[in-house]
Amino acid sequence: MKDSLNKKGLKATPQRMEIIKYLNSTKSHPSAEEVYVYIKDKFPTVSFATVYNTLQTLKNTGDLKELSIDPDRKRFDRDLTPHNHFFCKICKKIYDIPNINEKVNIDALNDHLVEDYSIYYTGICKDCKKMNKEE
Amino acid sequence: MKDSLNKKGLKATPQRMEIIKYLNSTKSHPSAEEVYVYIKDKFPTVSFATVYNTLQTLKNTGDLKELSIDPDRKRFDRDLTPHNHFFCKICKKIYDIPNINEKVNIDALNDHLVEDYSIYYTGICKDCKKMNKEE
DNA sequence: ATAATTGCAAAAGCTTTGCACGGAA
DNA sequence: TTCCGTGCAAAGCTTTTGCAATTAT
């Protein structure tokens, strides 16, 4: 991990390493704050700026994707393979949805340069559905 | 339009009517500010609060969709028919992309309640591509 | 009359930025 | 040593909220 950072001209600081380790380990599609809370536990002096800087840097090197499926905050995803997302409007969880090589409307897009695409599903996730019933 | 508002228990105030008329007329997928600027021209005393309130109200009655494809701000769409969107990261324009009854991965979603979905494409639109070349 | 809506100002929440200090290369 | 990255504080934007005055029904 250190080498791969250095190769890109980035310094492998302990904070940065820890953030990357966290992003690698979680499937929660964390927000900047979620990352901050986690890192703060290991580096009590860490600041929001460092978290935002690091997320920005990783986004720029293409090692991290920024999701805008959550209307209230940016969410991040280290899984760079093509897949889709379901967003629960109750608990705000983001679920990965495998893609099934969807047909894409190439004709309508011919003139635009498409760098990325995915299906955004929204609704109520299975856990929240269950809770609503129980109440 | 007045009747359709009253039927829902909503008042047909001049500000509200103008906002709806604007939303009906534009294909720009406006942000709250874009709506505000337009309305301000016709009702110089109008406030941001009114715009946000109205957008919120229309969203709640299901007459307006909030898009989260733009990472920097909420965008709105009065076109409630199924279609997809392309977001240009340079000029921030949102283009409508017709849908072509995409196959959806129902199996992976079986347990979630899907209320809505669409394909979000991002990249560089044809106009911005052209400008980049010319420079 | 009464209940909803407006407009103002203030506040809240997320994200970015400037800058001096410290640390990795 | 050099320059990138950190941490702090402040600021910037978008969006929300409380409340008194106004207006549609």
pLDDT value of position B1:
80
Give the model's confidence band at A103: pLDDT under 50 very low, under 70 low, under 90 confident, else very high.
low
Whether A89 and A54 share a structural domain: no
Give the model's confidence band at B134: pLDDT under 50 very low, under 70 low, under 90 confident, else very high.
low
Round to a whole number and report the distance in Å from the CA of A72 to the C1' of C9.
24
Give the model's confidence band at B71: pLDDT under 50 very low, under 70 low, under 90 confident, else very high.
very high
Whether B10 and B62 share a structural domain: yes
Largest CA distance in chain A: 54
Query: Please, what is the average pLDDT of chain A?
Result: 93
Among candidate residues A67, A94, A123, the one where a domain is terminated:
A67
Round to a whole number and report the distance in Å from the CA of B28 to the C1' of C17.
31
Whether B95 and B63 share a structural domain: no
- Name which of A8, A117, A54, A78 is nearest B118 in CA terms: A117
The total of other beta-carbon atoms located within 10 Å of residue B49's CB is 8
Say yes or no: B39 contacts chain A, CB-CB below 8 A: no
Task: Specify whether the CB–CB gap between B49 and A46 falls below 8 A.
Answer: no
Is the pLDDT reported for residue B132 higher than 80?
no
Whether A85 and A44 share a structural domain: no
Is the pLDDT reported for residue A110 higher than 60?
yes
Give the integer Cα–Cα distance in Å for B54 and A113.
Answer: 35
Give how far Cα B59 sits from Cα of A77, B34, B105, Å.
Answer: 28, 17, 27
pLDDT value of position A101:
66
User: Is A75 within a domain?
Assistant: no
Whether A85 and A60 share a structural domain: no
Is the pLDDT reported for residue B135 higher than 60?
no
pLDDT tens for each residue of A8-47? 999 999 999 999 999 999 999 999 999 999 999 999 999 9
Strand pairing class (B94-98; B83-88): antiparallel
Range of the domain at B63: 2-67
Q: Who wins on pLDDT, B57 or A99?
A: B57
* C25 nearest neighbour residue (CA to C1'): A11
User: Is B75 within a domain?
Assistant: no
Burial of B133 (0-12, 13-18, 19+ CB in 10 A): exposed
Whether B8 and B60 share a structural domain: yes
In this complex, do B100 and A98 lie within 8 Å of one another by their Cβ atoms?
no
For residue A117, give the nearest of B74, B119, B126 by CB distance.
B119
Average pLDDT over residues B92-113: 83
CB within 7 A of strand C: which residues qualify? A 2, 5-6, 11-14, 31-33, 48-49, 52-53, 56, 72-74; B 9-11, 13, 15-16, 43, 45-50, 53-54, 57
Beta strand spans in chain A (E): 65-67, 75-77, 83-88, 94-98, 113-124
CA B114 and chain centroid, separation: 20
Tokens of A66: 């920024």
In angstroms, the separation between the Cα of residue B6 and the nearest Cα of chain A is 28
Count of alpha carbons within 13 angstroms of residue A97, beta-carbon side: 27
* Residue percentage of chain A with pLDDT more than 90: 84
Q: B105: domain CATH number?
A: 3.30.1490.190
Among candidate residues B67, B98, B118, the one where a domain is terminated:
B67
Whether B8 and B48 share a structural domain: yes
In this complex, do B71 and A74 lie within 8 Å of one another by their Cβ atoms?
yes
* Residue percentage of chain B with pLDDT more than 90: 84
**Residues of chain B contacting A100 with CB distance shorter than 8 Å:** 103, 105
Whether A61 and A91 share a structural domain: no
Task: Specify whether the CB–CB gap between B68 and B74 falls below 8 A.
Answer: yes
Q: Domain count for chain B, please give it.
A: 2
Whether A50 and A18 share a structural domain: yes
Give the integer Cα–Cα distance in Å for B9 and A49.
Answer: 46
The H or E element that residue B28 is part of is none
Give the model's confidence band at B83: pLDDT under 50 very low, under 70 low, under 90 confident, else very high.
very high
User: Is A117 within a domain?
Assistant: yes
Say yes or no: A123 contacts chain B, CB-CB below 8 A: yes
Tokens of B113: 């309640």
Task: Specify whether the CB–CB gap between A79 and A85 falls below 8 A.
Answer: no
Residue in chain A closest to B121 (alpha carbons) equals A117
Is the pLDDT reported for residue A135 higher than 60?
no
